[in-house]
């Protein structure tokens, strides 16, 4: 299969991210993007992870290029409140572990110190947390809502992510990356609706309808109502949960995560800042996640407004009671007038397709799969899968064999299933039992129902966290986020009970003192850093603040 001409169906963030990457990174490829005039992007995803920087670097984008258009702010950490227990808060900062400033057994050191000094080393932000110990600079920046250039082990190019208006990011890519290629006939933007398709029996290799490759789509143009044929070698489905190609044409089965993830609904709203003082305070460089009665609420501060939402489970609550709970949260946290806040409700379809790439059709974004808003995995699976596709296309200038399709399917499935387990642990490891929802999460649900099918998995880090004898891999830096979550939830993962421990408790005292000296240096440095708002104003927004407040 040779890919020279690509047809993307669907605009939105995933469509334009895919289009921009193909035009920028696959110079022999021509792209047609078909977008319905009636399409309305979901528009919930406004938070990213550090992986997003790989996409930005691949497109040679600087923060000052796109952030002002998207009202973007920085995100140094994810803050979890009331997840471990009511009244407890912990951080998941981005970046590598810092093994300098005292180190014996690596990540185990903090757990050992916590056992020796339980009052000083705590699971939450009140003491020396796992996050503060291993990622001191970013944790301190998050706790103080300050921002910085490179310092110590903090690398802003990889150790912070973004809050952004995802819809505007798609617009920016269209205007600045994609549309200029129309002048040299490499890009065509078609506004219309797909009404049918023609399959290529010869290329599919089988007369069976399900095995035929797509040859051409019939598109009814919005402007003159004419129907035209759009041909391509590769067709990319970016139609969101509708999955018009991967499901509508190829009927690829969808596998839900309902057995490990209860949340299936989400309210969301856009809340304005009331005044400048409040704006600078609420423009926090973390995504604030707060556990609620029947799910959790998010708070994502942009430059011009705040994105808030409530991800909840219809198994345990009615729409009326969760809406009331969400409205109270908006009033109490932001002092907003509910008459001026539009609250919307969406269904969450979490799960994934058994295949992302079938014949000459690839699903990117929500059309392939989704976990849930927790941990910002929506945009992550989009840009990671886009970069995987670009990589495969570049290996032999667009020539693709079936094994490469299988590689792609294996890796995207491994990632989305892994993230589903990671997200599930945020509920499973909580100690909350205060209502039916949290009792189901922590005491009733079987999270490992498919691990006992007679085929023990090789890459089973999440499962092996349950055994003190099998903790070597789970405690490696490859389990970066899971270690922060487990420690924040109060799980003690150090293996000090083993007889062959490498260092006695006494040696920890010197490590502790070395770390405390480093904490002092970082705290003094961060104290002199500008606020998150001021750093953005000076370094991203060019000293201009045109936001109109009430």
- Could you report the per-residue pLDDT of 345-378, keeping only the tens digit for each? 999 999 999 999 999 999 999 999 999 888 787 7
Mean pLDDT of the chain: 89
Q: What count of other Cβ atoms lies within 10 Å of the Cβ of residue 417?
A: 19
- Taking the domain 5-69+164-257+350-420, which CATH number applies? 3.50.50.60
**Residues 218, 216: Cα–Cα separation, whole Å:** 7
* pTM for the model: 0.92
% of the chain exceeding 70 in pLDDT = 89
More confident residue, 243 or 99: 243
Domain range annotation of the chain: 5-69+164-257+350-420, 77-159+448-527, 265-347
Mean pLDDT of 452-462: 52
pLDDT at 38: 85
pLDDT in tens, 86-125: 999 999 999 988 888 888 878 888 988 998 899 999 999 9
**Residues 299, 22: Cα–Cα separation, whole Å:** 33
DSSP string, 275-322: SHHHHHHH--SEEEEEEETTEEEEEEE-SS-EEEEEEE-TTT--HHHH
- Report the range out of 248-252, 481-485, 509-513 with the highest average pLDDT: 248-252
CA dihedral 462, 465, 469, 472 (to 10 degrees): 70
CATH class held by domain 265-347: alpha beta
pLDDT at 498: 45
The burial of 488, by beta-carbon neighbours within 10 Å (0-12 exposed, 13-18 middle, 19 or more buried), is given as: buried
From residue 528, alpha-carbon distances to 282, 358, 523 in Å are 20, 54, 9
H/E element, 413:
helix 402-428
Beta bridge partners of 199: 214
Residues 6+ apart with CB under 8 A from 193: 36, 37, 38, 219, 220, 222
H/E element, 21:
helix 12-25
Q: Tell me whether strands 361-363 and 234-237 are parallel, antiparallel or unpaired.
A: parallel
Predicted confidence band at 54 (pLDDT cuts at 50, 70, 90)?
Answer: very high
């Amino acid at each position: 299969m040779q890919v020279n001409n690509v047809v993307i169906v669907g605009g939105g963030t995933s469509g334009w991210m895919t289009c921009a990457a193909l035009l920028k990174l696959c110079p022999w490829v021509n792209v047609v993007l078909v977008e319905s005039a009636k399409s309305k992007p979901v528009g919930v995803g406004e938070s990213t992870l550090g992986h997003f920087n790989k996409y930005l670097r691949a497109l040679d984008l600087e923060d000052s290029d796109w952030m002002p258009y998207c009202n973007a702010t920085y995100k140094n950490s994810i803050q979890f409140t009331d997840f471990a227990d009511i009244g407890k808060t912990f951080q998941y900062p981005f970046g590598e572990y810092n093994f300098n400033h005292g180190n014996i057994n690596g990540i185990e050191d903090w757990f050992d110190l916590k056992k020796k000094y339980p009052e000083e080393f705590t699971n939450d932000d009140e003491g020396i947390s796992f996050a503060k110990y291993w990622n001191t600079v970013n944790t301190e920046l998050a706790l103080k809502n300050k921002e910085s250039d490179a310092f110590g082990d903090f690398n802003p190019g990889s150790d912070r992510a973004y809050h952004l208006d995802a819809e505007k990011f798609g617009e920016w890519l269209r205007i600045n990356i994609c549309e200029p290629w129309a002048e040299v006939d490499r890009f065509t933007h078609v506004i219309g609706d797909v009404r049918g398709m023609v399959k290529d029996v010869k290329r599919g290799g089988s007369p069976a309808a399900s095995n035929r490759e797509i040859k051409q789509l019939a598109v009814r143009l919005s402007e003159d109502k004419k129907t035209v044929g759009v041909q391509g070698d590769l067709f990319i489905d970016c139609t969101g949960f509708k999955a018009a190609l991967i499901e509508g044409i190829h009927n690829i089965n969808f596998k839900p995560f309902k057995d490990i993830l209860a949340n299936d609904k989400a309210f969301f709203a856009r809340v304005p800042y009331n005044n400048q003082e409040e704006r600078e305070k609420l423009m926090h460089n973390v995504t604030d996640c707060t556990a609620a009665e029947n799910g959790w609420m998010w708070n994502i501060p942009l430059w011009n407004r705040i994105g808030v939402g409530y991800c909840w489970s219809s198994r345990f609550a009615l729409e009326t009671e969760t809406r009331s709970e969400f409205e109270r949260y908006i009033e109490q946290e932001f002092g907003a007038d509910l008459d001026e806040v539009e609250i919307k409700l969406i269904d969450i379809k979490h799960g994934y397709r058994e295949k992302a790439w079938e014949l000459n059709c690839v699903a990117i974004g929500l059309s392939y799969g989704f976990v849930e808003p927790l941990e910002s995995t929506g945009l992550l699976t989009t840009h990671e899968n886009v970069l995987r596709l670009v990589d495969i296309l570049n290996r032999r200038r667009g020539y693709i064999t079936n094994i490469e399709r299988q590689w792609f399917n294996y890796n995207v499935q491994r990632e989305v299933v892994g993230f589903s387990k990671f997200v599930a642990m945020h509920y499973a490891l909580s100690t909350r039992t205060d209502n039916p929802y949290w009792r189901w999460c922590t005491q009733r649900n079987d999270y490992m129902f498919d691990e006992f099918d007679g085929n023990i998995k090789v890459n089973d880090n999440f499962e092996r966290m349950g055994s003190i004898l099998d903790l070597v891999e789970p405690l490696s830096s490859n389990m970066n986020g899971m270690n922060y979550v487990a420690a924040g939830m109060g799980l003690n993962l150090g293996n000090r009970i083993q007889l062959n421990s490498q260092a006695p408790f006494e040696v920890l005292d010197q490590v502790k003192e070395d770390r405390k000296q480093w904490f002092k240096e970082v705290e003094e440095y961060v104290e002199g850093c500008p606020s998150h708002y001021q750093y953005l104003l000076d370094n991203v927004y060019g000293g201009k603040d045109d936001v109109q407040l009430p």
